[in-house]
Homo-oligomer: A and B are copies of this chain.
Amino acid sequence: MLTISGKNCIGYADSALGAQTFQAVNPVSDTVFGISFVQATDAEVDLAVSKATEAFQIWSNEPLQNRVAFLKAIAVAVHSHSAELTRWYCEETGLPLSRAKTELERSCFQFESYAEAIASGFALSIRIEPSSGPGKPDLRKMNVPLGAVVVFGASNFPFAYSTLGGDVASALAAGCPVIVKAHPMHPHTSELSARIILSVAREMGLPDGVFSHLHAIDYKVGEQLVLHPHIKAVGFTGSIQGGTTLVRLANSRLVPIPVYAEMGSSNPMVFTTEVLAVRSESIAKEVAASISLSAGQFCTSPGLLFMVDSDATKQFLSSLAALLQKTEPQIMLHPGIYKQYEQQASQHLEGSEILVNGLRLNNEIQPSLVRISSRQLLREPGRAEEVFGSFATAVVCENESELLACLNALSGQLTASLYLEPHENGAILMSALQRFAGRIIVNGVPTGVAVSAAMQHGGPFPSSSIPSSTAVGSDAIQRFMRPVCFQNVTDDLLPNSLKIANPEGLLRFVNGLFTNAPC
């Protein structure tokens, strides 16, 4: 039985030296839980970083199979604590148990599939070109871990983007020690998750400091971590403001480090007139469900709906409005998030034609839907900005060229959707969407981000700080590695993954072909 103590986990040591404490909130009852969580002090942050740095010396030299075993064992241990984890998850977020269970499975699958991506060699991006003759060098390149990584837990995914989330899984898969700065909206879930990871690490005899978990209610701990000279990279999921602040901090360092910030997105959806004429009812159902899902508290929640004015458009919007109106009220994750939603929704409601003015009361909301013209969007680009929570703006254009003008004015987005009929030529629209989006979905909603090697969860700025990276899928591991080339290095001094015999049986790119053969 693991105990939630409110203390920080500095490697294997519990520590609560600080005077600043906070409590978590049950958003359903709007009451606080009993445990006091103790914000990490400067000294505790320093200790966590120095333990991580020391752990890296040992851990980065251990066999690949130990890393794989660690990741897989975490997934097993999480499963065995699923009842306790999902209980805290629901209590701290107000989200339903079904969502908690799905998200837990997602977390476990991430650890498992990233373990596979390391075990197969895929994520190591090995390239080998043996010497082609006298005077020609033998060159062997692979990804090596960066060092100690900081991950910020995200409010909206207490499992899948927090302590058991994709950033932690990919940084550990990369071979980096991880320090989690827990999100203060779900500290019970986060600490319990950390203690599961730590119990696995301890049981496997991993070096102290390979994982640490810090509580914090204000920005101080995060700032100190990002500025610490021994931290080598940062993973963050949250708002544009939060992400860009961390990026600025990281760039101000003597030695700048990458901040992989997955920030906001309005996830524009485009509907052709024809598709709405043919199947506006079924599309309205899909879109309404996507807008409503988990009270819209997703980075992929659809916030912008583009269409050209027509009878079908009117019909679609009226069906969509009717469906959204019938949506059951949902509790938001936290009173703080509810308050922010209320503020953003009010701003967007003002000056728009209101189609649905959803409930906003005591942390509970129903979706809202407004309609604006394309000209209004072009005049007031702030109307394209994300509202975090179920809120959609229908942008009704006079013609397709106005629609394209709107799309061309959009900033970077995680996703873009295009609904069209099979025989329609969507090439121009696809090209317009590709300019600003990291993922394009045809005849589908943006919510639901599959964990897959083929997933791209990251788009042009400001949806991501580093658009060439993905936060989901095994390519996410690469964010926490850098390539090193070994030139004419004798077999005894090569990392196992690059040795001629290929003792780990990895997939390696050798002389232009991918192969598991020795070379």
A residues whose Cβ falls under 8 Å from a Cβ of B:
57, 60-61, 116, 120, 122, 125, 127-129, 136-137, 139-141, 144, 247-248, 251, 255-256, 258, 411-412, 422, 426-427, 430-431, 434, 437-444, 448, 450, 452-456, 458, 460-462, 465-468, 470, 475, 478, 481-490, 493, 507, 509, 512, 514
Do residues A127 and B488 form an inter-chain contact, with CB atoms below 8 A?
Answer: no
Do residues A453 and B127 form an inter-chain contact, with CB atoms below 8 A?
Answer: yes
Do residues B493 and A427 form an inter-chain contact, with CB atoms below 8 A?
Answer: yes
* Nearest-neighbor residue (CB-CB) of A472 within chain B: B485
Partner of A454 from the list B139, B427, B458 (CB cut-off 8 Å) is B139
Known: A256-B461, A453-B512. A431 touches B61 (CB 8 A): yes
Known: A251-B251, A454-B140, A475-B483. A488 touches B256 (CB 8 A): no
Do residues B454 and A482 form an inter-chain contact, with CB atoms below 8 A?
Answer: no
Do residues A455 and B488 form an inter-chain contact, with CB atoms below 8 A?
Answer: no
Do residues B484 and A440 form an inter-chain contact, with CB atoms below 8 A?
Answer: yes
Q: How far is the CB of A440 from chain B (nearest CB, A)?
A: 5
Known: A61-B431, A255-B461, A453-B127. A443 touches B139 (CB 8 A): no
* Nearest-neighbor residue (CB-CB) of A439 within chain B: B485
Do residues A120 and B487 form an inter-chain contact, with CB atoms below 8 A?
Answer: no
Do residues B434 and A129 form an inter-chain contact, with CB atoms below 8 A?
Answer: no
Q: How far is the CB of A201 from chain B (nearest CB, A)?
A: 22
Give the distance in Å from the alpha carbon of A139 to the alpha carbon of B455 in the complex: 7
Q: Which of A125, A422, A442, A443 has the most CB of B within 10 A?
A: A442
Partner of A482 from the list B255, B455, B467 (CB cut-off 8 Å) is B467
Do residues B509 and A455 form an inter-chain contact, with CB atoms below 8 A?
Answer: no
Do residues A442 and B120 form an inter-chain contact, with CB atoms below 8 A?
Answer: no
Known: A127-B453, A139-B450, A444-B137. A484 touches B439 (CB 8 A): yes
Give the distance in Å from the alpha carbon of A465 to the alpha carbon of B128 in the complex: 25
Do residues B487 and A442 form an inter-chain contact, with CB atoms below 8 A?
Answer: yes
Partner of A456 from the list B248, B422, B485, B514 (CB cut-off 8 Å) is B485
Which residues of B are found within 8 Å of A136, using beta-carbon distances? 450
